[in-house]
Amino acid sequence: MQASVAIAVMGASGRMGQMLVKLVNESEAAHLVAVTERAGHDWAGRDLGECMGGAATGVTVHADPIEAIVNAQAVIDFTTPAATLAHAELTAQARAVHVIGTTGFCEDQLAQLAHAARHATIIRAGNMSLGVNLLVQITRQVAAALDADFDIEVIEAHHRHKVDAPSGTALMLGQAAAEGRGIDLAVARESGRDGLTGPRDRGHIGFSAIRGGDIVGEHDVLFAGQGERIVLRHVATDRAIFGRGALKAALWGQGKGPGEYDMLDVLGLR
């Protein structure tokens, strides 16, 4: 029987953090060894169970990530780009698997993660769900089959509290479309239209972001041609799908060598 994997959850007080704690505690293949919150947070230094409104569990909420990572075999991280970069250095030193669901990285930060992956197992995805990763594959195939006479627009909707746009998932889909077309997304990307923008540039990939209410996550990839449209769609109704994917990635990463992986690797879709 395979031993239970020791998991640390970073940023335990957030919606995803609490969801991950619940999923790890329910898992027969993993167990929770530590959680973190930023220094000065109300939860820091307290028992996790009491913070979540239940009985004491014996798991302390650490303000120092080193204390959480030192005993973990895998770290699940849905925090902020700056925090995730700091965690990446520590997980590399601890030889722990680093599962990253954080979004909003700039190119320089992604380069820093790539450097950390020379010494650590990093599994990073803008979206951890099975359905979205299948959608990424389908988007790449459809984009490859259709020429630039079909305009591509990625439309995404999320809850009012989301701080980055376009979403990490939208960028995954845009990148897949660009790869299917054989073009550079950095050159073809078009977003934030306002005012007299002029006509759309042929071959560009557009992004539109909606923020409101408690929308978990909705993503459409629109291929608009003359006289016809193709719409590929994924709707998330429960953020537990992201947590289950992250936990699956943490288990999958055990024994893997250093490198950057994503959910296509985890799901065997690469």
Residues forming a β-bridge with 234: 219
CA distances to 4, 23, 66, 128, 147 from 29, in Å: 5, 11, 24, 18, 46
One of 98, 158, 234, 248 is an active-site residue; which one? 158
The Cα–Cα gap between 51 and 110 comes to: 33
User: Any catalytic annotation for residue 98?
Assistant: no
| Candidates 22, 31, 159, 162; catalytic one | 162
Q: Are 152 and 177 in contact (CB under 8 A)?
A: yes
Verify cis geometry, omega within 30 degrees of 0, for the bond prior to 166: yes
Strand, helix or coil for residue 202: coil
Torsion angles phi and psi, residue 218, rounded to 5: -135, 135
Q: How far apart are CA 248 and CA 264, in angstroms?
A: 12
CB neighbours of residue 38 within 10 Å: 15
The answer to whether residue 162 is catalytic is yes
Q: Which amino acid is at 232?
A: L
Question: Which residues are catalytically annotated?
Answer: 158, 162
